[in-house]
């Protein structure tokens, strides 16, 4: 029986909005940006620090710094390592939180490699939301009026960043249909998307 639905999404496809409406329809918990707050509390770091690592790869100097600290013979290196909060630590804690939420069940989890983190976990159903480029730009123009000239570039950059994140931490192709139980084109509308998901999961 399906008790968890993950929603991965192209930027501008309104996948997060679909996830919210789906959770409301099912009367389930929604875990999207609240995951960042959960991680921040566990890591004892400010929420804005955790947010900067959300679905991100670390800058090159952070990677170099980690390699330096790992290779150091200084006794203090262990202490320094504990104080590091980066994308790797963020992902590690995200995985913990998502697995806990999956065990609790009755929830919708958005993005952050959830389909990979919960791959093979009983009761999890994975979806991917996409849309045509014109439809995504239209949705983004409504959400960010006055930024039309930047939208397509931002859309491409965000999807590349998400793909790089999943490839780096999970060694998978972010939009590979084989990772998901259901691929949804949001051009069909939210009602149809929810209906298709309900039918596919048998909830």
Every domain of the chain and the residues it spans: 4-201
Please state the length of the chain.
Answer: 203
Backbone phi and psi for residue 28, each to the nearest 5 degrees, phi listed first:
-105, 165
pLDDT in tens, the chain (203 residues): 999 999 999 999 999 999 999 999 999 999 999 999 999 999 989 888 888 888 888 664 444 444 444 454 444 444 444 457 888 999 999 999 999 999 999 999 999 999 999 999 999 999 999 999 999 999 999 888 877 778 889 999 999 999 999 999 999 999 999 999 999 999 999 999 999 999 999 99
Query: What CATH topology corresponds to 4-201?
Result: Rossmann fold (3.40.50)
Exposed e or buried b for every residue in 2-41, given b needs 16+ CB within 10 A?
bbbbbbbbbbbbbbbebbbbbbebbebebbbeebbebbbe
Burial class (CB in 10 A: 0-12, 13-18, 19+), 112: buried
Terminal Cα distance for the chain, rounded: 8
pTM, two decimal places: 0.85
């Amino acid at each position: 029986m399906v008790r968890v639905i993950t929603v991965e999404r192209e930027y501008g496809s309104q996948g997060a909005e679909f996830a919210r409406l789906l959770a409301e329809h099912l009367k389930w918990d929604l875990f999207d940006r609240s995951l960042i707050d959960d991680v921040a509390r566990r890591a004892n770091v400010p929420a804005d620090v955790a947010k900067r690592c959300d679905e991100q790869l670390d800058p090159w100097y952070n990677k170099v710094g980690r390699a330096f600290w790992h290779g150091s013979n200084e006794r203090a290196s262990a202490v320094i390592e504990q104080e590091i909060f980066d994308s790797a630590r963020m992902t590690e804690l995200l995985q913990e939180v998502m697995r806990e939420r999956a065990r609790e069940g009755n929830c919708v989890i958005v993005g952050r490699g959830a389909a990979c983190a919960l791959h093979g976990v009983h009761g999890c159903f994975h979806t991917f939301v996409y849309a045509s480029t014109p439809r995504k730009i239209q949705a983004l123009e409504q959400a960010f009026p006055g930024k039309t000239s930047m939208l397509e570039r931002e859309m491409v950059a965000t999807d590349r960043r998400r793909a790089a994140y999943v490839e780096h931490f999970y060694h998978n192709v972010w939009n590979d249909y084989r990772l998901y139980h259901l691929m949804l084109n949001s051009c069909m509308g939210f009602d149809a998307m929810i209906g298709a998901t309900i039918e596919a999961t048998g909830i």
